[in-house]
Structures are given as C-alpha cells and as structure tokens.
C-alpha cells in the first residue's frame, strides 16, 4: 500500500522555524524507515484553483497564511496501521523538540489507475 503524509503548521506566527534538534530527529526517523519511505520533501502553498457554480476561482499566490504546509513523505507499507504508527512517531518528535508547534498531519492512501480502472 502506498501512502502520502502531509504536515501542516497551524500556528506559523508562533512556530516559525523548526529547531535543529527536530530536524536531526526527523532525519534519524527517516533513516529508520529506510526503503519504506520512498520520497520526502518540503512544500509551499502557491495557489488554490476552485470551481463553484460554473466559475473558476484562483486564489494566490499566497504571501502569508494562517496555516503553513510544511512537507510530505511517501511510504510503501503493508498496512494502514504501519502508516499511523510512523505518523504518530513523527508528530511525537514535534512534541518533544518543538513544543510550541501546533500542527496536523494528513494521511492519504495513494491509488494508481490505468485505462482499465484501479490497480
């Protein structure tokens, strides 16, 4: 099963820069995940394009936001329970090394489609 996790800072006015100890701990967690973590990186919210009642609305580029998207990781794991455990460990690192951080991590299961339907 393939999953993507996306981390979001909910209080970027308070939690501006992650401390080096957090980044070191996240690196160690990633090394522990090994090949189960296929890809990781940072993200920045650039724009949102919405359609409502036949009208296309583009919002952005964003100079500042109430929430800040931080990063993502893509995992290949056998079970849903495994991605929950990895994500909980990631959030616990934030509690330990950056206690002023308020945030959330969204977990999405990725599904691949071909012309015949889901694989």
Residue 9 lies inside a defined structural domain of this protein:
yes
Q: What is the CATH number of the domain that holds 31?
A: 3.30.70.1060
For the record, the structure tokens of 112 come out as 């691949």
Bond before 61 cis per omega within 30 degrees: yes
Cα–Cα distance measured from residue 58 to residue 85, given in angstroms and rounded to the nearest whole number: 36
Residue 49 lies inside a defined structural domain of this protein:
no
Residue 87 lies inside a defined structural domain of this protein:
yes
Cα–Cα distance measured from residue 82 to residue 98, given in angstroms and rounded to the nearest whole number: 24
Q: Give the predicted TM-score (pTM) of the model.
A: 0.82
- Number of folded domains that form the chain: 1
Closest CA relative to residue 77, chosen from 112, 106, 34: 34
Residue 80 lies inside a defined structural domain of this protein:
yes
Residue 50 lies inside a defined structural domain of this protein:
no
Per-residue pLDDT reduced to its tens digit, 61-117: 765 656 677 899 999 999 999 999 999 999 999 999 999 999 999 999 999 887 776
Residue 96 lies inside a defined structural domain of this protein:
yes
Which pLDDT does position 103 carry in this prediction?
94
Cα–Cα distance measured from residue 30 to residue 73, given in angstroms and rounded to the nearest whole number: 9
Domain range enclosing 86: 2-44+65-112
């Amino acid at each position: 099963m393939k999953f993507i996790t996306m981390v979001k800072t909910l209080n970027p006015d308070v939690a501006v820069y992650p401390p080096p100890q957090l980044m070191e701990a996240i690196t160690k967690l990633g090394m522990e995940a090994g090949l189960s973590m296929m890809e990781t990186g940072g993200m920045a919210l650039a724009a949102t394009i919405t359609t409502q009642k036949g009208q296309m609305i583009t919002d952005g580029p964003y100079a500042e936001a109430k929430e800040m998207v931080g990063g993502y990781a893509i995992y290949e794991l056998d079970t849903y329970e495994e991605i929950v455990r990895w994500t909980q460990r990631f959030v616990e690192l934030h509690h330990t090394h950056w206690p002023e951080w308020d945030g959330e991590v969204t977990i999405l299961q990725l599904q691949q489609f071909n012309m015949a339907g889901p694989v």
